[in-house]
Amino acid sequence: MAEVDYKALKNGGFMRQKQKNNFSLRLKVIGGNLTAEQIVTIANVSKKYGDGHVHLTSRQGVEIPFIKLGDIDAVKSELLDGGVHTGVCGPRVRTVTACQGSSICPSGCIDTYGLAVEISERYFGRELPHKFKFGVTGCQNNCLKAEENDLGVKGGYLIQWEKDSCVFCNVCAKACRTNAITVLEDRLEVNESKCNNCGRCVKSCPSGSWKGKPSYVLSFGGTFGNRIARGKEILPIVTDKETLFRVADAAVDFFAEYAKSGERFRTAIDRAGWDALQKALEAASHA
Amino acid sequence: MPEYPVDESVDITDVVCPVTFVKAKVAMEELEEGQVISIRMNEGEPVQNVPRSIKDEGHQILKLIDNKDGTCSLIVRKGREDA
């Protein structure tokens, strides 16, 4: 048999197991969503080529363990027929994770899955100095843990109050967890330094007097493996997707330019300087 | 509360989430459409969440009164059954 290119296999999502000639095959999943048809395909492949079980990974992915070296082509083709693609490992953009977001969850402020698909189409598999993870969470509840990603996106609302329809019921002031809203005799006062864009005023308002523009709170440089560091919010809230992608491009470019091979985004930022990153991101956001 | 004559009242300060909403919902089911109920709830989680759930059920929230004793009273008019 020809010499096995383990690196190429790993790039294609085949993770070498401790059991010789067995691979745990990583699948491509976006935002933790799979169709019923995809799940059936995965189940069939697991039964036919694996040992009949799958592993749900820590980042919403699926791996099929105990795939034999000789079956790799057959496995890939059967998966593809069922609409399932293989994932990636190594120094590149990984699975884009997402919570269910505004299309399913009452708390969601943004369409997390739609955004995760767009991010994945733009960046998934891109070669970089080291792994790079995107995560998209729909609101401040942060079920998807945005700040543990190299680039985290957290949905929020940019809020605006409309006096005409307001019944001054006081619900928003109590729903607000940061006490940013004060109900006065003839108007509402918002302490913008306290507002964290959670959108609970919008969601709770019985008269629709709070309008919320879906927006993105971005965090950079999060990592939660060997090193644990929380991603930092160094930009004001972003209110449109075009700006979001310009900023994300700038972040990825910054990583590609400044990181040494095998170095995570966080370490690269720490060395190159947070000011330099902030400058690059601000320039991109104003472009 | 002369401003809001209520037909019924319920106290949900003796239960915790998610029973708070359940108890309020059960009380609302006893009402006729258009009747007004006062729901007394604790500050914190209940007052942050129950009003929104009541609204999502299709009822009309009229006022949230701060009782200044760590509780609030939510004044709600019952919406249509099929709302």
Report the CATH number at residue A237. 3.30.413.10
B71 touches chain A (CB under 8 A): no
State whether A114 and A76 are in the same domain.
Answer: no
Among A49, A81, A113, the domain boundary falls at A81
A174/B63 Cβ within 8 A: no
Does A219 lie in the same domain as A150? yes
Residue A68 in this model has a pLDDT that exceeds 60: yes
- Domain for residue B30, yes or no? yes
* A151 and A238 housed in the same domain: yes
A112 and A64 part of one domain: no
Does A34 lie in the same domain as A147?
Answer: no
- For residue A173, tell me if it sits in a domain: no
Q: Are residues A63 and A110 in the same domain?
A: no
Which of B60, B62, B72 lies nearest to residue A174, judging by beta carbons? B72
pLDDT value at residue B19: 94
At residue A12 the predicted structure's pLDDT band, cuts being 50, 70 and 90, is: confident
Q: Which amino acid is at A26?
A: R
Select from A81, A108, A135 the last residue of a domain: A81
For A220, the domain range is: 97-156+215-285
Running DSSP on this structure, what letter comes out for residue A90?
A: S
At B27-71, the pLDDT tens digits run 999 999 999 999 999 999 999 999 999 999 999 999 999 999 999
Angle, CA B38 vertex, CA B33 and CA B40 arms, to 5°: 140
* Average pLDDT value for chain A: 95
Q: Do the domain assignments include residue B2?
A: no
- Residue A151 pairs in a beta bridge with A134, A220
- Residues of chain B contacting A206 with CB distance shorter than 8 Å: 51, 55, 60-61
Note whether A216 and A96 are within 8 A (CB). Answer: no
Q: Give pLDDT tens digits for A244-265.
A: 999 999 999 999 999 999 999 9
Is the CB of A170 less than 8 angstroms away from the CB of B43?
Answer: no
The residue out of A25, A55, A81 marking a domain boundary is A81
Question: Do A203 and B64 count as a contact with CB atoms less than 8 A apart?
Answer: no
Does the residue A274 lie in any domain?
yes
Q: Is there a domain that residue B1 lies in?
A: no
Domain that holds residue B34: 8-77
pLDDT at B2: 46
Is the pLDDT at A28 greater than 50? The verdict is: yes
DSSP annotation string for A141-196: T-TT-GGGSSEEEEEEEEEEE-TTT----SHHHHH-TT--EEE-SS-EEE-TTT--
Whether residue A169 lies within 8 A of chain B, CB to CB, comes out as: yes
Average pLDDT over residues A228-249: 98
Which of A169, A177, A200 is facing B62, going by the closest CB pair? A169
Q: Is A10 in the same domain as A66?
A: yes
Pair (A68, A107) in one structural domain:
no
Query: B1 falls in which pLDDT band (50, 70, 90)?
Result: very low
Q: Are A170 and B65 an interchain contact pair (Cβ–Cβ within 8 Å)?
A: yes
Domain-located, residue A257: yes
Q: Is A231 exposed, middle or buried (0-12, 13-18, 19+ CB in 10 A)?
A: buried
Report, as an integer, the average pLDDT of A43-52: 98
Does the residue A279 lie in any domain? yes
Total length of chain A = 287
pLDDT in tens, A131-186: 999 999 999 999 999 999 999 999 999 999 999 999 999 999 999 999 999 999 99
The answer to whether residue B43 neighbours chain A at the CB level (below 8 Å) is yes
> CATH number for the domain including A44?
3.30.70.3340
Does A195 score more than 70 pLDDT? yes
- Examine the domain organization and report whether A26 and A142 are in the same domain: no
Give the closest-approach CA distance of A207 to chain B in angstroms. 8
Rounded to the nearest angstrom, the minimum Cα separation between A173 and chain B is: 9
Q: Quote the minimal CA–CA distance from A144 to chain B in Å.
A: 21
Are A18 and A60 found together in one domain? yes
Q: How far, in Å, CA of A268 to CA of A257, rounded?
A: 9
Give chain A positions within 8 Å (CB) of B65: 170
Domain total in chain B: 1
The domain total for chain A is: 2
pLDDT tens profile B19-29: 999 999 999 99
Contact B62 A203 (CB under 8 A): no
The minimal CB distance from B55 to the residues A170, A177, A206 is found for: A206
Whether residue A162 lies inside any domain: the answer is no
Domain harbouring B24, CATH code: 3.30.110.40
Q: What is the pLDDT of residue A2?
A: 56
Report the range of poorest mean pLDDT among A3-12, A51-60, B68-77. A3-12
Measured between its terminal Cα atoms, the distance across chain B in Å is 28
